[in-house]
Structures are given as C-alpha cells and as structure tokens.
Amino acid sequence: MANDDVVLYEKEDRLGIITINRPQVKNALSMPVFSALDRVLDKIAVDEEVRTLVVTGAGKGFVAGADVNELPEHTILGGWASSRYQQSVFTKLERIGKPSIAAIGAFCLGGGLELALSCTFRVASSKAKIGFPELGLGIMPGFGGTERAVRTLGYAKAADLLLSHLTIDGVEAYRIGLVHRVVEPDEVLPHAKEWGRRLASLSPVAVRLELELLLHGQGSAIDHGLALESALGAMAVTSEEAKELLAKFLAKQG
C-alpha cells in the first residue's frame, strides 16, 4: 500500500470525507498516516468548496491507536520530535477553520481518541469501545490527548479516563460529554454526513470566525501543555518499564 493510500479523501458536494485506511491493523496511526493526513489537510485548507469534514476509519471501526510497532525505536529526542510533529497535524485539523466530525465506529482507542478529540464534534456507535489504554503500557498519550481530554471533560473525568485506562462504550462516552451524539452502529457514518451537510449550509465566513472564537475561549495555554506532553511522553516511552510492557504487548499481537 502506497503511503498516500493510508489516508483516503473524497468530496461529496461541500463535504470532505477523510478515511484512515489501514484496516489490516485497525487503522493504527503510523508516521506515514500522519504525513498523508498532513498533505490532505493542506489540500482541504485551500479548497473553498469544502466547508465541513467527516473523519472516519476504514471498515466498521475508527482508529485503534498509534502504531505501537514504531514506539520501541524511540529515543527521548526522537520521541519528542515525533510527538511534536504528530501534534501539529492534529492541531492543523483542529484549527483548519472548517467544522469536523469524527464518525466513531467499533473502536476509538489511544491515538484514535486523540484524533477524535481534535475534531469539532464526535458521533459514536452505542457499542463503540473508547478510551486511553496508554498507561497500561507504561506510556502516555502523545498527540494532544491529555490536554484535549481535560478541556473536553474537565479535570476529574479526564483523570478517571486516563489514569484508570478505562474502555467505555458510546453510551457512557455520551453521558460524560466525550461525544456529542450516540447512534446505532450502522447509523454512525450516515448521521455524521447528514450533520456535516447541515453545517455546510451555514455561512463559511461566520463559521470560521465562530470557530476561532471558540478556540480562543479555551485559552492559548494549550500550546504550552502540548509541549510538556511531548517532553513527558518521550521520557515515558523510553523507560525500561515501557519497553518491557510494549514487548509483551507486541508478542501477544504476533
């Protein structure tokens, strides 16, 4: 599969649809995925025809997380550099000036949840599996997950989700405010598209300005938090404990 094939992009009138396309590994986020997504977002940013985005994953799921096969090779400096680049791609999505909707199917874990949190809105299957499993592997979210979880859920709920490395379903995710809509599994993508079409009917100028105001209302301190997350995450992923836990996890996957 060519690198550009790991992220698919199509337009339906004023709706742009981004699909993470690695179904053989549950759409795990590798560096080629981030590079391809980066290029797609640059294309969308200058396309005035596209007013709203839907982000989804190939198959019935969303994204199962980061590609853990890449993690054991990280050094502290390499982990920092990778994290900062990966964060920049998700920040580009968040700040692109067009509403985005994450259509969450069967699984949305780790880096997948970080991707979903970078979208303006989230619609999930009632049976979706959603959570941050990273601390169980001795690592941390590195794509902006901690910062965005706190901003979305508040400290108490974010701490519970992250430190307990809970996996919750779509109904519970809706109850705690992690997703905006919960629907039956076969309705996720149709619902996201219909929602996107309604948003696309609004004035693109007014929408862009409102999105800027919403982001500003969250405070500019997120940039400092993202930098700290990259530094601490790079330290965690290079620890001996993380290496042992990741090796055990990868052995089970093999």
The CATH number that applies at residue 101 is 3.90.226.10
Which residues touch 19 (CB under 8 Å, ≥6 apart)?
Answer: 7, 8, 9, 10, 56, 57, 58
Distance CA 132, CA 162 (A): 6
Please indicate, yes or no, if residue 223 is contained in any of the structural domains: no
Please indicate, yes or no, if residue 228 is contained in any of the structural domains: no
Which tens digit of pLDDT belongs to each residue from 137-174?
888 999 999 999 999 999 999 999 999 988 999 999 99
Please indicate, yes or no, if residue 159 is contained in any of the structural domains: yes
Residue-level pLDDT at 92: 98
Residue-level pLDDT at 254: 67
Name the percent of the chain lying above pLDDT 70: 96
Q: Catalytic positions, please?
A: 114, 134
Neighbours of 130 (CB within 10 A): 25
Please indicate, yes or no, if residue 22 is contained in any of the structural domains: yes
Range of the domain at 25: 3-200
- Number of separate domains in the chain: 1
Please indicate, yes or no, if residue 120 is contained in any of the structural domains: yes
Query: pTM value?
Result: 0.89
Please indicate, yes or no, if residue 242 is contained in any of the structural domains: no
Which tens digit of pLDDT belongs to each residue from 108-124?
999 999 999 999 999 99
Please indicate, yes or no, if residue 102 is contained in any of the structural domains: yes
Please indicate, yes or no, if residue 136 is contained in any of the structural domains: yes
- Which phi and psi (to 5°) does residue 15 adopt? -110, 125
